[in-house]
Structure 1
Amino acid sequence: MHDSARTLNGLGQSLWLDNITRGMLRAGTLEDYRDRCAVTGLTSNPTIFEHAIKGGDDYDAAIRAAASTDPEAVFFDLAIDDLRNAAKVFEPIHQRTSGVDGWVSLEVSPLLADDTAHTIEQAVALHERAGIANLYIKVPGTTAGAGAIEELIYRGVPINVTLLFSPKQYQAVADAYMKGLERRLAEGLSLDVASVASVFISRWDVKVAKAVPEEMHNQLGLAVAGSIYARYREVLASPRMQRLMNEGARPQRLLWASTGTKDPAASDTLYVDSLAAPFTVNTIPEKTLLAVVDHGQPGALMSADDSAARAVQASFAERGLEVDPLAETLQDEGAASFVKSWNDLLDTIRQRMEKAA
């Protein structure tokens, strides 16, 4: 067995699992991943929960016992239960790293992606209800989401910003994060409010695969990631962020998401081997985690100089595939796919509730 998971950890990158099921929690699989594969956190989303609940009967007893008749309320009860148990697994890491690592994540309803006020309301309510110190509330980094992120950071809610695809989208949420902290600073509040910014990688390559020759496959996602990482380093080094850090703020960490390889012709550890960078997180599906542990080969650390990454993006732009408009499309499609999973999830819960009745 390679120990590339520990190697990445030693390079300063956290590996999180992009999955959660009640079966995994009961079987002790998560503890095993923590101890054997250096996994230090976990993310969930509507699609993951939809598969978990639809895929077996692990949740049926809890659905039968539910006090509420509203499928959404029942779902959040189930999800918070699971995440409380996952959070306990990672609590020692959260303590040891003084809150830098050891997080789990719960997404607000994707139906709220364009509704700033209701996103804020639901995120605050979920955070209070869960009562978990190491829980991120996931909010999509849409235009409406950016307004919600600023307000939620100001209110002290830890946020995992999701569905980011481009340097421009990343910069907007980094600004929202700093703005929320600046408002806290102006009122003399503690700046110890954690956040990660989740950038989706593999969807770029799936999107453009049919429009480019084979030798250009699986290049755009990593090139865009290279430019986002360079922008991240600029944010960390900016006087604005450093002033906040001087007052006790912690920087919003960059997280690589959607890092399971979709192309069967490419390496199954491509998006992990190529995205090694200190002070970042990579959240990976189980299949990818096991591949990384078995035969991953992390390459050179990412560079703050993105000139090579920009050259790759330019070769795609020459074919009419420009990053900013494509990023908007990818964000819209990502939000729509979460809405579909959400509706399927609530339908599944509704059916199970009717069956139980």
Structure 2
Amino acid sequence: MFFELALEDLTQAADLFRPIHDATAGVDGWVSLEVSPLLADDTAGTIKAAAQLFARAQRPNLFIKIPGTGAGIPAIEASIFAGVPINVTLLFSREHYIAAAEAYMRGIERRIAAGLDPKVASVASIFVSRWDVAVTDKASDQFRNRLGIAIAMRTYKAYRDLLASPRWQKLAASGARPQRLLWASTGTKDPAASDILYIQALAAPDTINTMPEKTLLAFAEHGKVNDVLPVDEGYAEAVLAEFTREGINDEALAAELQREGTAAFAKSWHDLMSRISAKS
């Protein structure tokens, strides 16, 4: 019942965005529908669900969301090979992003080897603000709201490096489209910080920022982009070194945030199923 409702909702949204999708040759105008969060550790189940949902929707501008978990990574590769556009979710670090990007490229490489069209769209979604929430009580006040942006800057450097790599250039020459980097969780959680903190800090070419409506309206009212995100990771690494000295292990925290995100998605899913069951 949920997927009946979700598909009705999202296919309508996809149709509303279709003129944008067509005008930008498939770059913009996308909507996303996630597979059940209960499949986060089920590779085969995720592959099957992604294919079924995309086939049922019958919309070229519908991303299927797959989490970048250990089980999700091979599902992403298989789904891209099958021609299903994928929004990789629950990525928290440079290493998470690289794993997702490599899965995408393997899927495209397999399509080229099989004589299939290499144009299968994908985005890789990095969750930003949750880093700062996680260390609110673990680091000194001078470090407030700095970790998420530093992680994003480090990831953006990896993204630009990948797009310049011979491996990607070979795929691009065959007609493949880059998997774009997407900033997720960009609403400011700290009431003492700027309400557009992550929007201004993460303005960068070839990226997407999925802003909550409140943040979008705030930026429309008083936002201004003075500088774009630098590719030089020196600043980011200096900030991350400060957090290491504060006792924060970013690699361990990234894994913890991904586990917590997966659990939170599953809880929301269970709550929703209970709600639908009660109402039906």
Q: TM-score range by the shorter chain?
A: over 0.9
* Cross-structure match for 1:200: 127
Q: How many residue pairs end up in the alignment?
A: 280
1:330 paired with 2:280, answer: no
Q: CA deviation at 1:322?
A: 1.7
1:316 paired with 2:243, answer: yes
Distance (Å, rounded) in 2 between the aligned partners of 1:299 and 1:322:
32
1:140 paired with 2:67, answer: yes
Could you list the per-position Cα deviations for residues 79-100 of structure 1 after superposition, in whole angstroms to 9, with x for gaps in the alignment? 1111111112211110011001
Q: CA deviation at 1:304?
A: 1.4
- Cα RMSD, aligned residues only: 0.7
* Cross-structure match for 2:36: 109
* Cross-structure match for 1:298: 225
- Between structure 1 and structure 2, the one with the greater Rg is 1
Q: CA deviation at 1:305?
A: 1.0
Correspondence for 1:129 among 25, 41, 56: 56
* Cross-structure match for 1:247: 174
1:346 paired with 2:273, answer: yes
Distance (Å, rounded) in 1 between the aligned partners of 2:11 and 2:79:
21
* Cross-structure match for 1:183: 110
* Cross-structure match for 2:212: 285
Distance (Å, rounded) in 1 between the aligned partners of 2:224 and 2:248:
30
Correspondence for 2:160 among 224, 229, 233: 233
Q: CA deviation at 1:213?
A: 1.6
SS of match in other structure, 1:76: helix
SS of match in other structure, 2:232: coil
CA contact (8 A) 1:313 1:322 kept: no
CA contact (8 A) 1:276 1:299 kept: no
Distance (Å, rounded) in 1 between the aligned partners of 2:217 and 2:279:
32
1:273 paired with 2:200, answer: yes
Task: Give the letter for the 2:46 counterpart.
Answer: T
Q: Which runs of 5+ in 2 are unaligned?
A: none
Task: Give the letter for the 2:34 counterpart.
Answer: E
Report which structure shows greater RCO (CA 8 Å, sep ≥6): 1
Q: Which runs of 5+ in 1 are unaligned?
A: 1-73
Give runs of aligned pairs for residues 153-192 of structure 1, distance below 5 A: 153-192=80-119
After alignment, is 321-330 or 193-202 more displaced? 321-330
Give runs of aligned pairs for residues 30-179 of structure 1, distance below 5 A: 74-179=1-106
CA contact (8 A) 1:141 1:163 kept: yes
Could you list the per-position Cα deviations for residues 232-266 of structure 1 after superposition, in whole angstroms to 9, with x for gaps in the alignment? 00110011111000000000000000000000000
Q: CA deviation at 1:216?
A: 0.7
Distance (Å, rounded) in 2 between the aligned partners of 1:185 and 1:323:
36
Q: CA deviation at 1:148?
A: 0.3
Distance (Å, rounded) in 2 between the aligned partners of 1:310 and 1:341:
35
Distance (Å, rounded) in 2 between the aligned partners of 1:84 and 1:150:
24
* Cross-structure match for 1:214: 141
TM norm structure 2: 0.99
Distance (Å, rounded) in 1 between the aligned partners of 2:4 and 2:164:
41
Q: CA deviation at 1:299?
A: 3.4
Task: Give the letter for the 2:152 counterpart.
Answer: A
Distance (Å, rounded) in 1 between the aligned partners of 2:226 and 2:235:
16
SS of match in other structure, 1:211: coil
SS of match in other structure, 1:231: helix
Could you list the per-position Cα deviations for residues 253-308 of structure 1 after superposition, in whole angstroms to 9, with x for gaps in the alignment? 00000000000000010011110001110001111111111111223111111110
Distance (Å, rounded) in 1 between the aligned partners of 2:226 and 2:35:
35
